Amino acid sequence: MVDLLSGLLPAEIWRLVVIVLQILAIVLPLLVAVAYLTYAERKVIGAIQLRKGPNVVGPLGLLQPLADGAKLFLKETILPTGANKVVFLVAPMLTFILALIAWAVIPFDEGWVLADINVGVLYLFAISSLGVYGIIMSGWASNSKYAFLGGLRSAAQMVSYEVSMGLVMISVLISAGSLNLSDIVLRQKETIWYVIPHFPMFIIYVVSILAETNRAPFDLPESESELVAGYNVEYSAMTFALFFLGEYANMILMSGICVVLFLGGWLAVPGLEWLPIPGVIWFALKICAILFIFLWVRATFPRYRYDQLMRLGWKIFLPFSLLWLVLTSGVLVAFGWLPGQG
Amino acid sequence: MIAALIFYMFAALTVGSAVMVISARNPVNSVLFLILCFFNAAGLFLLLGAEFLAMVLVVVYVGAVAVLFLFVVMMLDINFLKLREGFLQYLPTGAVVGLVLLVELATLFGGWAFAPDVEALVRSPMPPVAEVSNTEALGRLLYTTYAYLFQASGLVLLVAMVGTILLTLRRREGVRKQVIADQVARTAKNSVEIVKVPTGGGI
């Protein structure tokens, strides 16, 4: 069948078609995952607060995300007067697109990756550093004080936490000796999951991704008690939905990166390799575990004050991750464990 | 064929957005076009096979520097009508500066020639691309041949950082700030005092 089709089309076009199909194979499950992450969030927080959560639409409320989606799709998109229309409409699209394109380099299983590039870690870092634009642009273009304050807060917050995230990533990648995500996972197969030697970095990374995705307890850009809804206060219908989808896709993405860097990506839990579970399922299970932390934290912790947030990022995480980086390189050199030196 | 098309797309967008940076009326739009310009320059680097430089360009310039630009420019409260008022007044000065730059560029390009061994340099990248990835090759050069220069640039950045902190550091008297060490160091013993209050006497 495949040979027949490839005979009909020129090779370049055929390659293009395959890539488009691969992209769809990543994006469609991702969108379903996003929809059911919102459902899981409401169910988990409901359980923590001794409520039922959504339980009306469909069995166990399972169709609730679809109903929410349909509602957002059918509502009217409102453009505020005085808004910069182009930037106002580009911002949510940018947020959503950035949350999707980062998945190109995530390895789902050995060889299951859309673009197996040598600078995968840097690519992810570049894309996640762009995420701030969607928010700051929406905050500015809305021509509203609350949205603007939310946008500014988020810009400062995301830039601050990226610094320590970058240092954490460097600690991991000098242990692995590669910027390629598949190589990092394979290296963990040879040695040990990096969550064990780099446990303090794992903690810092998990806290940083909470800040980076603007989730509780660091959801200051949209803190509803002071800024109404922050940067997205003027958005409605599909434009709002794109922000929402982008935020949740980013949560899944950041959990995915965390799993690849620290929890051995698609590898089975040590001792359970005999189970007939494919790597991609392990990968999904580990992502779910990290996502559960996101939801758990949201239901448990009160919101940080802004100066405390900045203090945590700059005065605690940054020096500590820098120290850990020096320590890691020192240990690797002292014991001759540097990858590539045998 | 496709590579050439992609190159022309990136190149045209780079030049186009660079023109928009200086011609856009709204400074925020200018910065947004600057970001687009950086982004397309990164695309050009990718086409050259310099993937490390492309990613670093995006991380550093787009992800950090331009965010701060945007941050500052958005906070400016500019009256656009006033901005355009002095146009004729400043035109001669601007024209002179532009002319000087043009002459400088002309002399630069007039006296510009390729290094005599450029062909050989291009043909033998150090080390060969097929064996060592781009990032590794850069790292090898940077931490061996150019180690001192690398350290020196680090020092320059450090000095800039210390200078910035010095400039913005100010002590204000009488401002109550949260001192977390003090809070942690407090115990029940030194913060709670039990007093026997005589009736009608007060403390």
Nearest residue of chain A to residue B132 (CA atoms)? A118
- Tracing tokens 């001792």 back to the chain, one arrives at A271
B16, part of any domain? yes
Of B26, B52, B67, the CB nearest to A119: B52
Q: What are B22-63's pLDDT values in tens digits?
A: 888 788 888 889 988 998 998 888 888 788 888 888 888 888
Residue A120 has pLDDT above 80, yes or no: yes
| The two three-digit tokens of residue A230, written as one number | 């922050």
Q: Please name which of B70, B161, B156, B139 lies closest in space to residue A318, comparing C-alpha atoms.
A: B161
B57, part of any domain? yes
Domain span at residue B27? 1-85
Confirm if A197 and A140 have CB atoms less than 8 A apart.
no
Q: Which residues contact A184 (CB under 8 A, 6 or more apart)?
A: A121, A172, A173, A176, A178, A260, A261, A265
Higher pLDDT, A110 or A103: A103
Percent with pLDDT over 70 in chain A:
96
From chain A, the residues in CB contact with B134 under 8 A are: 118-119
Residue B125 pLDDT: 57
Q: Is B192 helix (H, G, I), strand (E, B) or coil?
A: coil
User: What is the value of pTM for the model shown?
Assistant: 0.82
| The two three-digit tokens of residue B9, written as one number | 């797309």
Residue A203 has pLDDT above 70, yes or no: yes
Give the up-direction half-sphere exposure of residue A200: CA atoms within 13 A in the CB hemisphere: 15
Residue A1 has pLDDT above 50, yes or no: no
Residue A342 pLDDT: 42
> In chain B, which residues touch A (CB < 8 A)?
2, 26, 28-29, 32, 35, 51-52, 55-56, 58-59, 62-64, 67-68, 70-71, 74-75, 133-135, 178, 180
| The two three-digit tokens of residue B106, written as one number | 């002309």
B38, part of any domain? yes
Residue A112 pLDDT: 79
B29, part of any domain? yes
Confirm if B57 and B38 have CB atoms less than 8 A apart.
yes
The phi and psi torsions of A235 (rounded to 5 degrees) equal -95, 145
Domain ranges of chain A: 15-74, 78-335
Residue B16 pLDDT: 92
Low-confidence ranges of chain B (pLDDT < 50): none
Confirm if A155 and B71 have CB atoms less than 8 A apart.
yes
Q: How far apart are CA B45 and CA A53, in angstroms?
A: 50
Of A132, A148, A179, the CB nearest to B135: A179
Give the mean pLDDT of chain A.
84
Q: How far apart are CA A152 and CA A102, in angstroms?
A: 24
Written as one letter, the residue type at B175 is V
Q: What are A311-339's pLDDT values in tens digits?
A: 888 888 999 999 999 998 898 888 877 77
Q: How far apart are CA A71 and CA B65, in angstroms?
A: 39
Residue A305 pLDDT: 82
Nearest residue of chain B to residue A118 (CA atoms)? B133
Sign (positive or negative) of CA dihedral B163, B168, B174, B176: negative
Higher pLDDT, B123 or A295: A295
B67, part of any domain? yes
Residue A181 pLDDT: 86
Contact A130 B51 (CB under 8 A): no
Of B28, B63, B67, the CB nearest to A126: B63
Phi and psi based region of residue A51 (left: phi greater than 0; alpha: psi -120 to 50; beta: remaining): beta
Q: Using H for helix, E for strand and C for coil, what is the string for chain A?
A: CHHHHHHHCCHHHHHHHHHHHHHHHHHHHHHHHHHHHHHHHHHHHHHHCCCCCCCCCCHHHCCHHHHHHHHHHHCCCCCCCCCCHHHHHHHHHHHHHHHHHHHHHCCCCCCCCCCCCCCHHHHHHHHHHHHHHHHHHHHHHCCCHHHHHHHHHHHHHHHHHHHHHHHHHHHHHHHHCCCCHHHHHHHHHHCCCCCCCCHHHHHHHHHHHHHHCCCCCCCHHHCHHHHCCHHHCCCCHHHHHHHHHHHHHHHHHHHHHHHHHHCCCCCCCCCCCCCCCCHHHHHHHHHHHHHHHHHHHHHHCCCCCHHHHHHHHHHHHHHHHHHHHHHHHHHHHHCCCCCCCC
Residue A6 has pLDDT above 60, yes or no: no
Residue B87 burial (CB < 10 Å; 0-12/13-18/19+)?
exposed
Q: What are A84-98's pLDDT values in tens digits?
A: 888 888 888 888 898
Q: What angle do CA B116, B117, B121 make, to 5 degrees?
A: 145
Residue B127 pLDDT: 58
CA A69 to chain centre: 21
From chain B, the residues in CB contact with A162 under 8 A are: 63-64
> In chain A, which residues touch B (CB < 8 A)?
12, 84, 87, 117-119, 122-123, 125-126, 129-130, 132-133, 136-137, 140, 148, 151-152, 155-156, 159, 162, 166, 179, 307-308, 311
**Other beta carbons within 10 Å of A256:** 25
Residue A170 has pLDDT above 80, yes or no: yes
Q: What is the CA radius of gyration of chain A?
A: 21
Q: How far apart are CA A159 and CA A133, in angstroms?
A: 11
From chain B, the residues in CB contact with A129 under 8 A are: 58-59, 62-64
Secondary structure letter of residue B63 according to DSSP: I
CATH of the domain at B48: 1.20.120.1200
Residue A341 has pLDDT above 60, yes or no: no
Contact B67 A136 (CB under 8 A): yes
